[in-house]
Structure 1
Amino acid sequence: MGVEIHPTAIVGKGAELADGVSIGPFCVIGPRARIGADTKLRSHVVIDGATEIGARNDIWPFAVLGGPPQHTAYKGEDTRLVIGDDNLIREHATMNLGTVHGGGVTKVGSNGLYMIESHVGHDCLVGDNVILTKQATLGGHCLIGDYVIVGGLAAVHQFCRVGRYAFIGGLAAVVKDVIPYGSVWGNHAHLEGLNLVGLKRRGFSRESINTLRAAYRLLFADEGTFQERLEGTIESYSDSAEVMEIIDFIRADASRPLCLPEREV
């Protein structure tokens, strides 16, 4: 199939372009870039640093991928950005390299949608099928699970974890960890319940959703201590993989506290 490079594009010596790659007008590709098969750069895209992009990605004008971390401790160390396959990366989206203090690599999964002016900060680990809507922002070192949706103008604080299938409402300021399947809103964000709409769209069975709802009510009720409720949830729902995913998420070592409901559930 070969590679298509517009005459106005600049491709650094040493860049690796797989078959079917299309480089549009006025793109700038650094010498350490690796771009997978059938990926399309529409125009004015900048690929900087040691950036590896998988196959069949569609990257729109003025996206900047692999720029230096926005961190005062970064001194030009050899760090990377790795992006998976089949992502749609829209205008002005940015994804930064990692830092040596955060593992040295920023990773973005596959099948994601990164809307206009969305941002993935240094050392983030982002799963598959993630959606960052308009101007959604991930601070450094965030862990974002599969199928997470981050609403428009929402921001996730550095070092926060967001579990699989969670939903973050527009304009939310997330400064605490979000459980898998949870739905958070507000500034600062608080837990509003489960992401029921997302669970239904992703094909979770009615039985699984009802089990999650019952476990949620037990876990975040007002009665007893949180540790007592945690143990009661484990005892009652240990055979539910989804519930135990939430339990494992809560019990894991974390640098941020947990998003909790503002009112009784």
Structure 2
Amino acid sequence: MSSEISPKADISPKAKIGDGCKIFPFVYIEDDVVIGDNCVIFPFVSILNGTRMGNGNKIHQGSVLAALPQDFEFVGEKSELIIGDNNIIRENVVINRATHRGCKTVLGSNNFLMEGAHISHDTVVGNRCVFGYGAKVAGDCNIGTGAIISSNVVEKANTRVGEYAVVQAGTTFSKDIPPYIIAGGHL
């Protein structure tokens, strides 16, 4: 089964695209990219060097995957963004690749990222997580399986959210959130 790729998409011939993908017009895909089977890439998505994407993902308009790390330590080293299977990444989501050579930003499988969410460099996200509108996760964070990061949450660098924790809308935090709790406010 071949993929349906718009002739108006700008895709490097070096990129590896799986079977059964649908790639809309005005998508931009760089050289060092691997996309699995049955993915849907909507218009105006940029998938940059270092992206390794699994199967069944849907990437909506205006999203940028493997954007350069927003880290003063970044000097252009080759790093990766690893994305699992069956994720839904809605409009204008930005996910940065890792800062240093051989390092990875990781998004597991079956996650849902709502419009405007941002996952920064070297962050590791488990499976079945939800990120609300405009949620911002700084670099070097770890988010456990099943966590819910509600709308307009700001997670500061080097923090962890435990599995199945819920962070309420508008929360800003610089401390770890334990598993299985509901957290809110300024922590």
Specify if TM > 0.5: yes
CA distance in 1 between partners of 2:86 and 2:165 (Å): 21
Q: Give 1 or 2 for the bigger CA radius of gyration.
A: 1
Flag structure 2 segments of 5+ consecutive residues without an equivalent. Answer: none
Q: Determine if the alignment matches structure 1 residue 175 to structure 2 residue 174.
A: yes
Which amino acid in structure 1 is aligned with residue 8 of structure 2? T
Which amino acid in structure 2 is aligned with residue 17 of structure 1? I
- TM-score, with length taken from structure 2: 0.98
Flag structure 1 segments of 5+ consecutive residues without an equivalent. Answer: 190-265
Deviation at 1:49, TM superposition (A): 1.4
SS in structure 1 of the partner of residue 139 of structure 2 = coil
CA distance in 2 between partners of 1:160 and 1:122 (Å): 13
Normalized per residue, the structure richer in strand is 2
CA distance in 2 between partners of 1:13 and 1:75 (Å): 26
Q: Write out aligned runs for 1:1-265 (5 A).
A: 1-100=1-100, 104-186=103-185, 188-189=186-187
CA distance in 2 between partners of 1:26 and 1:77 (Å): 27
CA distance in 1 between partners of 2:66 and 2:178 (Å): 29
Deviation at 1:70, TM superposition (A): 0.5
Residue-by-residue CA offset, 1:16-45 (whole Å, 9 max, x unaligned): 001011110100001111000000001111
Deviation at 1:10, TM superposition (A): 0.4
Residue-by-residue CA offset, 1:122-159 (whole Å, 9 max, x unaligned): 00010000100100011000010000001100011110
CA distance in 1 between partners of 2:158 and 2:44 (Å): 31
TM-align CA RMSD: 1.0
CA distance in 2 between partners of 1:77 and 1:42 (Å): 29
Which amino acid in structure 1 is aligned with residue 18 of structure 2? A
* Matched pairs, number: 187
Preserved CA contact (<8 Å) 1:49 1:68: no
* Identity %, equivalent residues: 34
